[in-house]
Amino acid sequence: MPASYFLHVTSAAHQKQLISLTQSPHEVFFCEQVVSGVGDEVGRTDVLVLLLLVVIGTIFALVVKISHITMAQPKKITQETFDAVVRENIEEFEMDLHEAIEDAKDQFKTQGVDSSNLITSYIQDPDTGELKHSNPVKDALDMIQTSLQEDDSQLLWKGLQDFSTECDKSESNRKFAASRDAFKLLFSSCNHCYLVKNKDNLAASLDALSSFLCGQGDLADVKMIEFLSNCLKELKEEILVEKIVKTVRVACIKSESNRQTFVVNGVIPCLVAILKDFSQSGKIVKETCLALRVFTFDDDMSVAFGKAHEHAKLIVAENAFGVLLGIMEHYKDVEVASELCVTLSRLAVRNEYCKDIVDMGGLKMVLKLLQDHTSNQNISKQVCTLLRAIAGNDDVKTSIVDAGGLGLIVAAMTTHAKQPTVAEQGCAALGSIALRSPPNCSAIVAAGGVEAIVKAMQIHPDVAGVQKHACLALRNLVARNPDHCDIILEAGAESLIRKAHGKMGDCEDLAKAALRDLGCDVELKELWTGTGQGKVHH
């Protein structure tokens, strides 16, 4: 609306009255812009002008607010809209193809548009200038679709390989594939290859499906879960078993509903049986251990609580400890042994389970493993993790000490002093062994545990996990053995604990408790004081 349309307002009072009528900063901005540059005369229709300006300002503010609400969620546009902007950039602004595409992307990005469902790559005919879509994910899906329609097994294999490669490259490729109904097509491919008994293409289909489901396991449906469960029960070829187990694992990550549906379909007994039947295959053992552990995860934020503990009990009920320890005894590959250790630690969720592992010879095996491979960082970390887990049982604590476990833990921490994961798990293991056991605390001090813990705190001052478990371990060492306070303080622990207290929010309570039990000055704040208001009078 032209400025000449408005009558001039001169007095400061008029301006103040006008601006005070508006309620939003956007309205104030609009009115101040209109009021600026006013003349010297006041027309008879000042009131109408004021009202008109207020209405316009209100509408303007409303539009701004609506736009903010709309922008809170990603916007979507059609492929045709994006194509039109690219063509316009080329034809109207004489941009080259690459520049036109990048400009279109930038335009829509600034408007909050999600372009994950769009094809943003093109090829241009050098003669006609016509644009054609060029997207490797779309091309692979088209190839798979065509091959299924024409029953061309070679073309299908090629399309599946290309699709897996593209999905492995980026999350955006997987999201784009999802927007193109890739799940239905891949599931159709799996079914087709299963029915015609084409093992190579079934393996390729499962590989493509697992690559596609990475990070978006919630796309899996009940029919697919039933299909994979049946395949686990029926198929015995090594290459197929590995691919099926991997697909099950990927589909269960961060999806509690998928985990529970797989359990209902009897997958847990199948996985333990696969471990037993394919115990000589390192690839299958590692993949199956990974899959079993996923069933003990509590990583789905969309549910109030999961069934991780129940799933662990179901796995143990299938004699998983016996199978895992049997493989560890006969299979000497350190990578496989590492997977077995971390799987055992995830399953040691009950007091009696910790004792069962020791009674089956597990403690002797893992300590021998650590002794033979102390130089291996992963073995050191995972054995310490397992020792920490089974030390939850008080009898097992003593067994670890009697078997010489403390010296091996300290040796692992010393050998891999610069590795924060080994330091963290080593401190955690020592803290667990020290808990509620004065004799064990004395044994840890004698084995050089205090020096190892303090050294870990010095080398990793910014690693919260190390500082947290170190503070807890030091506190456990003196909670029932106050005579160890001087040894720990002389090692320089107090200043390190105070630094952890000031720097790490997660360590605040543990650091205070450690300082208190060490006899150091510490400020303890009363977080809450009762008022007696809720007292019941009879």
In this predicted structure, what is the pLDDT of residue 483?
A: 96
Q: What is the model's pLDDT at position 64?
A: 55
Identify the band that residue 149 occupies on the pLDDT scale cut at 50, 70 and 90: very high
Percent of the chain, pLDDT > 90? Answer: 70
The upper half-sphere exposure of residue 396, i.e. CA atoms within 13 Å in the direction of its Cβ, equals: 27
CB atoms within 10 A of CB 165: 15
> Based on the number of CB atoms within 10 Å of its own CB, is 301 exposed (0-12), middle (13-18) or buried (19 or more)?
exposed
> What pLDDT score was predicted for residue 23?
43
Cα 265–290–299 angle (5° rounding)? 75
At 122, which helix (H) or strand (E)? strand 122-124
Residue 7 has pLDDT above 50, yes or no: no
Find, among 184, 86, 77, the residue nearest to 134 by Cα. Answer: 86
- Judge whether 488 and 477 are in contact, CB under 8 Å: yes
Q: Where are the alpha helices (DSSP H) in 4-132?
A: 12-20, 25-35, 46-71, 79-91, 97-110
The average pLDDT across 70-84 equals 77
In one-letter notation, the amino acid at residue 420 is P
Its sign, for the CA torsion 23, 25, 26, 28, is: positive
| pLDDT averaged over every residue in the chain | 88
Say how far apart CA 59 and CA 27 lie, in whole Å.
9
Structure confidence by residue, pLDDT tens digits, 299-325 = 999 999 999 999 999 999 999 999 999
Q: How confident is the model at residue 294, as a pLDDT?
A: 98
Alpha carbon distances (Å) from 373 to 327, 377, 383, 448 = 17, 9, 10, 20
How much is the average pLDDT of 61-83? 67
For the record, the structure tokens of 329 come out as: 């005894």
Q: How far apart are CA 216 and CA 58, in angstroms?
A: 43
Residue-wise pLDDT tens digits, 179-201:
999 999 999 999 999 999 999 99
Tokens 């594939």 -> residue: 177
Q: What is the structure's pLDDT at 11? A: 41
Query: Which tokens go with 217?
Result: 């396991």
Q: Which string of DSSP letters, residue by residue, matches 290-312?
A: HHHHHTT----TTSS---HHHHH
Task: Kindly report which listed range (54-58, 164-168, 245-249, 343-347) carries the lowest average pLDDT score.
Answer: 54-58
pLDDT at 34: 43
Give the model's pLDDT for residue 505.
81
Reduce the DSSP state of residue 181 to 3 states and report it.
coil
**Position 488 pLDDT exceeds 90:** yes
| 3-state secondary structure labels for all residues of 354-370 | HHHHHHCCHHHHHHHHH
The residues that bridge with 131 in the sheet, in sequence order, are 124
CA gap 513, 476 in Å, rounded: 10
